[in-house]
Amino acid sequence: MSNRTFVIGDIHGADRALKQVLDRAKITPDDRFIFLGDYVDGWSDSPAVIDRLIDLSRSHHCRFIRGNHDALFTDWLDHKEENDLWLSHGGQSTVTSYLRCPHEKITVHHQFLKRLKNYYIDEQNRLFLHAGFSKLSGPENEYYEYSFYWDRTLWELALATDPSLTPSDPRFPPRLAHFKEIFIGHTPVNSLGTAKPVKAISVWNLDTGAGFKGKLSMMEINTKQLYQSDPVYKLYPDESGRN
C-alpha cells in the first residue's frame, strides 16, 4: 500500500465524488497525487473541491495541472468579465457557488488556481497534462500555452493510430514517441461506450464524464488499479451538472 501515486481525472465541482474515491482507495500518508485539472464548473461544490485539494496538499505530495475550465474561471476572477459561452458550459454553477463564499476564501482559491502547472513529466518519463500539445518536438517547445488545456488533437491522434505500429516505424506519430506514457483528461470517454479510463497507444484518458452523468476516476499509475465514484448525478440528485 505504500508509495502509491494516483492520477485523477476531471472533477468538475463534484466534491462528493472526490471524497468517495479517496475513501475507496483508503489513502495513506505515503500516497501521492497528480490531478489532471478541471476542478470547477458543473456541480455545485467547486469551492469544496478546491478546499479539499488545498487541505490534501498540506498532508500529501500533490501536483495540480491546469484544466481549461480552471483557466476560464481564473480569467473571470482576474477580470470579472462575463463569458456567456463559459457560463453555459458549467461556469454559472461556479459563479453561483462562489457568491456564497467569503472574500478571504476566494482570494486563497484564486492564488491556488494561479499556481497550477500546465504539465508535469515524472522521473519515468511519463507526461501528465489536461489536454494535449501540438508541437511534434514535444511540449517544452509548445508555442501557445492554451494548447496544454484545450488541445484535443493528441487524443484524436492516439485513437486514430494503428495500434500495431511501434515507435521505430516511420509512420508512428512523433508526438506519441516522446514519452513512456501520457495521462490526460479533457475529452470524456463515455462517447466510446465505456465508463472506465481508455488507453490508446501510450495515452491514458482519465475523463470518465464526472461533469456529466459519468463517474470520477482515480488510477494508481504503476499498477493501473482503478477507483471510481458512483455516477456523479446520483450524488447530486437535485442538480444537472453540465448535462
Q: CATH number of the domain at 108, please.
A: 3.60.21.10
Sign of torsion, CA 149 113 204 198? negative
Q: pLDDT digit string (tens) for 164-219?
A: 999 999 999 999 999 999 999 999 999 999 999 999 999 999 999 999 999 999 99
- Phi and psi (nearest 5°) for 34? -125, 115
- CB-based contact 36:10 (threshold 8 Å): yes
pTM for the complete prediction? Answer: 0.97
pLDDT of residue 207: 98
Q: Which residue has the cell 470517454?
A: 189
**240, part of any domain:** no
Question: Residue 80 pLDDT more than 90?
Answer: no
pLDDT of residue 192: 96
Written in H, E and C, the secondary structure of 150-207 is HCCHHHHHHHHCCCCCCCCCCCCCHHHHCCCEEEECCCCHHHHCCCCCEEECCEEECC
- Spatial CA neighbour of 54 closest among 108, 129, 125: 108
- CB-based contact 116:172 (threshold 8 Å): no
pLDDT band at 82 (very low <50, low <70, confident <90, very high): confident
Q: Which helix (H) or strand (E) holds 219?
A: strand 217-220
- CB-based contact 76:83 (threshold 8 Å): yes
3-state helix, strand, coil in the chain (%, to 5): 35, 15, 45
- CB-based contact 48:14 (threshold 8 Å): no
**243, part of any domain:** no
- Spatial CA neighbour of 69 closest among 49, 87, 47: 87
**175, part of any domain:** yes
pLDDT of residue 2: 62
**241, part of any domain:** no
Question: Residue 8 pLDDT more than 90?
Answer: yes
> 220 in helix, strand or coil?
strand
**242, part of any domain:** no
Q: pLDDT digit string (tens) for 107-141?
A: 999 999 999 999 999 999 999 999 999 999 999 99
**208, part of any domain:** yes
**What range does the domain containing 117 cover?**
5-235
**156, part of any domain:** yes
- CB-based contact 109:47 (threshold 8 Å): yes
Count Cα atoms within 13 angstroms, Cβ side, for 53.
Answer: 31
Domain count, the chain: 1
**105, part of any domain:** yes
